Every structure is written in C-alpha cells, then in structure tokens.
C-alpha cells in the first residue's frame, strides 16, 4: 500500500488538555510539529473546557487539509462487556441490547451517548464503548470548520489494544492501561472479553494495582493468570506489582522528532498509529 501524502494530525483529548502531533507526509513517518494546550478540568462536564480549546489547537497545528485522528482519554469514555451479540436477530436488536447494558449501569444519561460495539469472537461477549454524542458533534464541527477531515475517533483503551494486539496473548490476558488520573483494565479469557473496569488514580497508581488485580482475578475467574500486560507510557516508571503477577511492559513506537524521555505527554497520541515492529 502506498503511503498517504496528506499530512496526518493526531489529537489526544483529555479533560484538562489537548496534545497534538502533526505527522509529516513521506515514506517514513516523522513528527513535523507538536504542541499541548491546557485548561481547567470540570468534574461535572469533563470535556467541555477542552473542546473550547479545539479551534485554537487546530489553528496552531495548521489543520487545514489534514486527515485527523482523535484519541479520547478514558476519562471521557465508558466501557461495558455485553452479552454475546450473536443472540441478536438484527442490527436494531443488537443496538438495543448494547444500549441497555449501559443503561443498567449509568441510567438515563446513557441515552445521549454514541455507542460502539467491538468485534467479538463467535459465541463470546463483546466490548462496547460510549461517548457523549455532544462531544462527538463538537469534534466533527470544529474539525470540518478548520478545513480538515476526521478519519478516526478512538477511545484510549482501544487505541492501546489495537497498537499492541500483535504482541498480546490471544487466548487469555489482562491489559492495564494507566494514564494520568485514570486506571483502566481489560481482561479476556478463552478468546473472549470477560471484564473491563476503570478507576480514578493518583501518583501511587502502581500501588493500587495489586488490590485491583486481586478483585479482577476473583470476579473474572483469572486466578491462574500470571502475566500482566501493562501500558503506562505517559507516567513515570514506578515500582511494579507484587507477585504472583509478572509484568510485561508495552510502549508505543516513538517517531523521529519526539523523545520518549522528554515527550511522554504525547504517548497517548502515538497509540493511534498502527502497530509497527
């Protein structure tokens, strides 16, 4: 496949900042420009202040004419594991079953969310994500107004899983994704999703992991699992988890123009890039 000659703009959007990378055209991808704009996070409306920054960010990034990929912080996304989608007789029934899974947990608020269902192995449970529809509409509106084209909208969890999936165990596994102020874990067993959970975290996020993993092992039946797949590219290295868990670290591929030591803030945006060996 020939490379795209349209510059690619990657936006990583969090409640308190937007990080952007402009990946230049050419045979070998490299970062032509990058930047971060910060704001105050509002607990009751976690995305609205960040979205107000978007026109400024798009202008700074010279977004006109680019293909835009958006990665949304897990603080802006909800996840559930749903029942086997094979039981649905048609797309309408599948949509209703998936939406009902969020309504059971989040109530009436979920009626205004855009819900997506991941691919599921035959006969296995599916993983669903939900994003406030108003956020989706605001993203599209600002990007189109800037003369750019949005080509992908990815929750942080799925961006990370897809980035590393060739190196993850296929049958059974636990992926813990740590970003500032949020821990998310995803577990699969016998080739199907079995659990997804999120929790707020602080500087001692690594210290919270053992208890989190113990609860996961009990509820999802993962007592025999020993290897934890860990992705925490934005955070400082920390002492890791107590035995019996072994830790396998996953880090994004760093492009020319960025340093893994000085530019950790852009690691979330890098997860949107396809996996490369």
Tens digits of residue pLDDT in 101-148: 888 888 777 788 898 888 767 778 889 999 999 999 999 999 999 999
What residues are paired with 10 via a beta bridge?
21, 69
173 token code pair: 């596994």
Q: Name every residue whose Cβ is closer than 8 Å to that of residue 179 and which is 6 or more positions away in sequence.
A: 14, 73, 74, 75, 156, 232, 234, 235, 268
Highest average pLDDT, of 27-31, 48-52, 241-245, comes from 48-52
Determine the average pLDDT of the residues in 14-21.
97
Residue with tokens 């107004």: 145
- Cα-based distances in Å from 132 to 37, 54, 103, 129: 22, 17, 14, 10
Output the pLDDT for position 110: 79
Is 106 exposed, middle or buried (CB count within 10 Å of its CB: 0-12, 13-18, 19+)?
middle
Q: What is the DSSP letter of 256?
A: B
Determine the average pLDDT of the residues in 211-230.
80
Q: Which residues of 110-149 are buried (b: 16+ CB within 10 A; e: fewer)?
A: beebebebbebeeebbbbbbbbbeebbebbeebbeebebe
- 161/216 Cα distance (integer angstroms): 18
Categorize the per-residue pLDDT at 52 as very low, low, confident or very high, splitting at 50, 70 and 90. Answer: very high
Determine the average pLDDT of the residues in 64-84.
92
Output the pLDDT for position 22: 94
Output the pLDDT for position 87: 65
What residues are paired with 21 via a beta bridge?
10, 34
Phi, psi of 48, deg, nearest 5: -70, -40
What residues are paired with 35 via a beta bridge?
20
Categorize the per-residue pLDDT at 88 as very low, low, confident or very high, splitting at 50, 70 and 90. Answer: low
Determine the average pLDDT of the residues in 199-225.
81
Nearest to 63 by CA among 74, 55, 73: 55
CA 251 from centroid of its chain's CA atoms: 14
E strands present in 48-148: 67-72, 78-82, 113-117, 126-132
Nearest to 11 by CA among 75, 55, 69, 53: 69
Output the pLDDT for position 20: 97
Q: Tell me if 48 sits within 8 A of 42, measured CB to CB.
A: yes
């Amino acid at each position: 496949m020939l490379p795209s000659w349209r510059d690619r703009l990657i936006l990583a959007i969090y409640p308190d900042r937007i990080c952007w990378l402009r990946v230049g055209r050419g045979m070998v991808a490299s970062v032509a420009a990058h930047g971060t704009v910060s704001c105050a996070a509002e607990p009751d409306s976690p995305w609205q202040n960040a979205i107000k920054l978007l026109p400024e960010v798009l202008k700074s990034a010279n977004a006109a004419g680019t293909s835009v990929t958006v990665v949304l912080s897990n603080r802006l996304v909800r996840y559930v594991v749903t029942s086997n989608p094979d039981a649905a007789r048609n797309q309408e029934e599948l949509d209703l079953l998936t939406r009902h899974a969020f309504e059971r947990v989040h109530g009436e608020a979920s009626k205004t969310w855009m819900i997506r269902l991941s691919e599921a192995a035959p006969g296995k449970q599916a993983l669903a994500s939900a994003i406030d529809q108003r956020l989706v509409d605001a993203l599209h509106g600002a990007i189109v107004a800037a003369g750019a084209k949005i080509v992908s909208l990815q929750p942080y969890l799925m961006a990370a899983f897809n980035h590393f999936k060739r190196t993850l165990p296929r049958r059974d596994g636990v992926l813990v994704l740590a970003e500032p102020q949020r821990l998310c874990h995803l577990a699969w067993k016998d080739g199907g999703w079995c659990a997804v959970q999120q929790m707020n975290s602080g500087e001692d996020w690594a210290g919270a992991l053992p208890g989190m993993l113990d609860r996961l092992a009990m509820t999802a039946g993962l007592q025999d699992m020993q290897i934890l797949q860990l992705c925490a590219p934005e955070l400082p290295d920390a002492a890791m988890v107590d035995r019996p868990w072994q830790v396998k670290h996953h880090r994004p591929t760093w492009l020319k123009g960025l340093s893994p030591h000085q530019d950790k803030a852009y690691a979330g945006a890098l997860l949107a890039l396809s996996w490369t060996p």
